[in-house]
Structure 1
C-alpha cells in the first residue's frame, strides 16, 4: 500500500500553524515586556467575540465542507475504486476540511494576539492560548486520518444499500 501523502503534509501544515501562533505570541510578549498586562478595550472585545465565533465555526464549517464534497462524489464509481484510490479521494476532502478548521482557529488566535499587542489585555492572550490549544487538540495524527477514512467508506457503503 503506497504512503498516503496527506498523512505527511497535513501534520506539517498543522505544525506550521501552531508554530506561527506560538512565535507571534512570543513576539507579542517580548514587545510588551515592560507593560505586559493592560485592560482589554474595543479591539480586545472584538477579538474575544471573533474568537468565540471562530470556535463555533471551526466545528461547523469543516463538517459542512466534508459533507458537501462527499455528496458530490459519484457513489457507484467511488465504490468501484480500489481501497487506495478511495483513500486518495477521501484524503483530499479530509485535508481540505482540516485546513479550513486550522485556518479559522489561527485567524482567531492572531486577532487576539494583535489585540494583546496593541492593548495589553491579558484576556486576549489567554483566548489566543485557548485557540492554540484547540488547534493542538485537533492535530491530524495518522490514526485520526485512518479512522476518518474508514468512517467515510463505511458511510458510503451504508448509503449504497
Structure 2
C-alpha cells in the first residue's frame, strides 16, 4: 500500500485525431524529425476535428490557427501542429473553438479542420504532437498502426 505513494505519477496523452501513428523521425520536416521542438509522435490524419489529448489550459493558439498548445497540471506542455507549412494558409481550413486561457477537458473539441482543403493546399497533413518541455520529462511513446481519437494512448509522460 505504501509503495503506491512512491510510484511516479504519469500522464497519458491520447490521440487528438484519428489516423496512423508515425515516429517523429519520419516527419518530412527537420524541425520535427530532429526533435528540435521536443519529443513526441506524429499522426497522419484520416478525419475528424482536433480534440484535447489531455486535460489542461490552452496556452497557445497560433495566429494562423494551425497550432495549439496545452499546459497540464503537472506542467507538461503539449503542442499539436496540424500539417506542415500550414502557416502559409493564413488560418483558412481551421476553425478554432477555444481561446488562450481556457481550461479544457480530455476529448474536448479544440479545432475543426477542413482536411480536404489542407490536403490540397499544404505541404503535408502529417500532424506532430510534441512535448515542448520534454528535456525534463521521461516520455514513453506508444506506436500502433492506427489510432482512435480520445482512446489510443500516444505517450506516457512522467517526471525524471
Please confirm whether the aligned pair reaches a TM-score higher than 0.5, indicating the same fold. no
More strand by share: 2
Q: Which structure has the larger Rg over C-alpha atoms?
A: 1
Question: Which has the bigger relative contact order, CA under 8 A and spacing at least 6?
Answer: 1
